[in-house]
Structure 1
């Protein structure tokens, strides 16, 4: 087998069946990681843009379910309810809708956490298997030369590299996108506070496309 090249494809092709299975699994995990990262970045960008637009009196965009929950709560009149109570009830309804919306939007984060924590151990399994292959080759050939152990060692290090390639982006993406969603949550909370106050102040004529459509 030719181990003169360090390209990922060559390392995969030169690995044994178990090594190939480990590398293929880690490659799929790496691709999935980048898909989740892109989805998370797009979601954060869209929500941030919608929250900023909503607070400025523009289109609520993807926050339409939150705005709809506020309108439904505002339309409900309860006996002996003060303006303060109604405002709190509207904010509560909108906050619950916002929590459900944000939970769905950040659905990929737990998967990134799983990949970042599991991928190194999967790579470690490939590493251990490659080293075991090297010892088995020594036992079969009764030779301890580098040519005998090199294939197994190369397979072991390749599995480690594949594991890190999947784990590092997943870990960075989980922490960065998680922090971004926390900031977005604060923006949405400010929007809910402003909107509930506006509804109860009697200025329902605020120019906004979602209300005109309603």
Structure 2
């Protein structure tokens, strides 16, 4: 795959980014990135690989990746932004309280964080804006728990099972809110139990010999 990451100027003819080829954009301080510029045409059928490792994530920062004011750009059906979810030409990626948005119509990548992030931003990008107690993708895991675990998109998310005598949930370092592990003998009455944080996980070890018990993670995001 083509992973070229320099500036690209198209001043005549047409630049074609073929399906499965890549252009890499390295995001830095506000407004600092390599980009596609010029007065020619671009046919985008491949992938944008956007590297946000060194990006400034202050709320409202933005970067012009494709200069739509002077270029004639066409996005093909196979175009994608790696790691992002598409909604009618608006591509989003959420990690905890930070949401990245690339908009084809403007060619601009932007970031929202802090007050504009958290569960609200995550739910907008990944759960149709639904409340935390609902299950947008109907996989048996509530939106709040998926947010807690750092899940993105609408793919199937598995509830953790009992492994080596304990249940372990991954915990997104950017999660904002409160959580409690609870148990129940009948799915009606729930009791809070102690859990342990181990790195970026939360662990619960059920007592042995207690008979049938159900376990859940109750998440109340900010």
Q: Please give the range of the TM-score, normalised by the shorter of the 2 chains.
A: under 0.3
- Which structure dedicates a bigger proportion of its chain to helix? 1
What TM-score comes out, normalization by structure 2 length?
A: 0.21
What TM-score comes out, normalization by structure 1 length?
A: 0.21
Relative contact order (C-alpha < 8 Å, sep 6+): which is higher?
Answer: 1
- Which structure dedicates a bigger proportion of its chain to strand? 2
Tell me which structure has the larger Cα radius of gyration.
1
